[in-house]
Amino acid sequence: MRIVSYNLNGIRAAIKKGLIEWLTEYPVDVFCVQETKASSTDIDLNLFTSMGYHVAWYPAQKKGYSGVAIFSKVKPNKVVYGNGYEMSDAEGRVVRVDIGELTIINAYFPSGTSGPERQAYKYQWLNELFIWIQDLKKERPHIILAGDYNIAYRDIDIHDPKGNKKSSGFLPEEKAWMESFLLAGWVDSFRKINPTTTGAYSWWSQRFPSVRLQNKGWRIDYLCTTESLSNRINDASILPLVKHSDHCPIVIEIK
């Protein structure tokens, strides 16, 4: 099973940039997207269903903001919209599908870059997610948590760790949360397969067009699995040459 996570920074814009053509050429079993910035009626879902996808779409209440979706070629046994926390659900940040014994959660973690209030909410959201997903793991032990985590947690995951030590997404509290999350029984699939790879990033700032050309990026997108799935990870990779967004797709292949 090939699972892809991709922050599209607007699904309508990504479609105009060739997303559907790429999906046609690069077969994906489960496609998790963040920042759809649209409701399901804003696009032609037949573009996806004609390829055999079942669609679980969870938009934000605010138009043109946030939103997540999962496109699965296997019909899920169960779909759950949101994680039960009011603000997170209003912002369309979490959707879950169960496919047999496997649970796939697609999450768009908040960014704190707009100021202290959102940074404070980011910490609240991280704590809420941790409580929710650790509880879910007791019932559903085989979980993949896909998404834009908005955290680069080690120096190897960011092009300029010294220059960004006070930047949201690389703050000590955020890195500590990520480390504690992994210690609580989760596996960073990319680092399991590529433990020492450098220059492997999934997001580049749009403010400076040369940044992506120079590969001055951050690895903030993840496909983490519960430890029970660790030995079933065949491969994990990042596709920086795929350009429909300021992010790029990340991939995991599971037995």
3-state secondary structure of 92: coil
Rounded distance between C-alpha atoms, residue 4 and residue 253, angstroms: 9
Rounded distance between C-alpha atoms, residue 107 and residue 92, angstroms: 9
Rounded distance between C-alpha atoms, residue 184 and residue 55, angstroms: 31
Give the per-residue pLDDT at 209.
80
Q: Which residue has the tokens 């209440």?
A: 61
CB 127 within 8 A of CB 102: no
> In the numeric block, which tokens belong to residue 246?
């300021």
Give the per-residue pLDDT at 193.
98
In this prediction the pTM is 0.98
> In the numeric block, which tokens belong to residue 131?
């409580």
Per-residue pLDDT of the chain (255 residues; tens, 9 = 90+): 999 999 999 999 999 999 999 999 999 999 999 999 999 999 999 999 999 999 999 999 999 999 999 999 999 999 999 999 999 999 999 999 999 999 999 999 999 999 999 999 999 999 999 999 999 999 999 999 999 999 999 999 999 999 999 999 999 999 999 999 999 999 999 999 999 999 999 999 988 889 999 999 999 999 999 999 999 999 999 999 999 999 999 999 999
Rounded distance between C-alpha atoms, residue 102 and residue 94, angstroms: 17
76 is in which domain, residue-wise?
Answer: 2-254
CATH number at residue 41: 3.60.10.10
Taking only the tens place, the pLDDT of each residue in 72-129 is 999 999 999 999 999 999 999 999 999 999 999 999 999 999 999 999 999 999 999 9
Q: Which residue has the tokens 């496909």?
A: 223
Catalytic residue set: 108, 148
CB 233 within 8 A of CB 225: yes
Give the per-residue pLDDT at 9.
98
Element (H, E) at 128: helix 116-139
172-183 and 116-139 helices, crossing angle to 10°: 0
Give the per-residue pLDDT at 56.
98
**Count of the separate structural domains present in the chain:** 1
